[in-house]
Amino acid sequence: MCEAMLMELDTRNCWTLAEALGHSGPHRLQHFLARARDEHDLARDRLAAWIASELADDQAVLVVDETGDEKSSTDAVGAAHQYSGTLGGVGLCQVADHLTYASRRGHAVIDRELYLPAAWAADEERRLLTHVPDERESATKPQLAADMLECARALGIRVRWIAGDEVYGGRELRLAARRLGFDHTMESRRITASPPPPAPSPPPNSPRRSPRAPGHACAPATASRATATTTGPCSTYPPTTPPPDTQPATPTWSSAVTATRANSPSAAAIAPPPSPWPHWLR
């Protein structure tokens, strides 16, 4: 089947594939697709081990990423309106995590896990209709990635680094990678403080900037001073409103890349300086 799918054919079905392979009819391929029983996980493990041996490199990297496949209805397992980079936004699609073995000799996908949204996993009727196993529950994408990394470690696949974007840059997957003994480099999302907006300039004739009078260093202000209050020094601003130049900085999102060795107690970060915000906002 794999050999036939790699052939250059105008139309692909069991008849044309069987003819290209030299079979007398499509029965063998039809049996393989419709009635044969196979162990998907066992086939995945053997394929992953073969790929790692063929592309073996002491600087190899395991890359975790997600891919969305557009669907026409929610009948497909896990299909829902969700973000997909392939679609360039939110759309009706399936999303799956993929684990890729990459080296200087080439790269290939060695594992996959389908993302099952929480609403989909809780719909018992749809689970029965699509034969979703009872033990399969909704899991986050970092959790799915951790399961694939654990499988790769069990197969003895040796790599230099694990890499992922900000979807996988959270604490959960980084701890799992360290527990499994993988060095990792992840993109993480951080909160940084942007400088406050500049204070607006007062009008030319305002009390804060009086026009100069001929022959005088500065003309006296025409507005009376504000009365003293217990909230602070005298000011022309109301006591409850701080001047514009004392407004707090506005938090904004930014990304950073962190690289951590598995035997290192802390991350060697290629990142901005520590955020001034509390830990629960980081």
Do 119 and 21 share a domain, yes or no?
A: no
Instruction: Kindly state whether residues 30 and 42 are assigned to the same domain.
Output: no
State the Rg of the chain over Cα: 31
Helices (H) and strands (E) in the chain, counts: 8, 8
Sign of the Cα torsion 28, 34, 35, 40 reads: positive
Per the structure, the complete domain to which residue 82 belongs is given by 38-194+250-281
Residue 97 lies in a domain: yes
- Asked if residue 133 and residue 19 are part of one domain, the reply reads no
| Residue 26 is assigned to a structural domain of this protein | yes
Please report which confidence band the pLDDT of residue 2 belongs to, taking 50, 70 and 90 as the band edges. confident
Residues 169 and 96 in one domain: yes
Residue 231 lies in a domain: no
In the prediction, which pLDDT does 95 show?
Answer: 92
Question: Distance between alpha carbon 80 and the CA centroid of its chain, in Å?
Answer: 18
Predicted model pTM: 0.63
d(CA 22, CA 16): 10
Per-residue pLDDT reduced to its tens digit, 150-169: 999 999 999 988 999 888 88
- Residues 110, 87, single domain; the answer is yes
Q: How high does pLDDT run on average in the chain?
A: 76
Domain count across the chain = 2
Q: 142 near 187, Cβ under 8 Å?
A: no
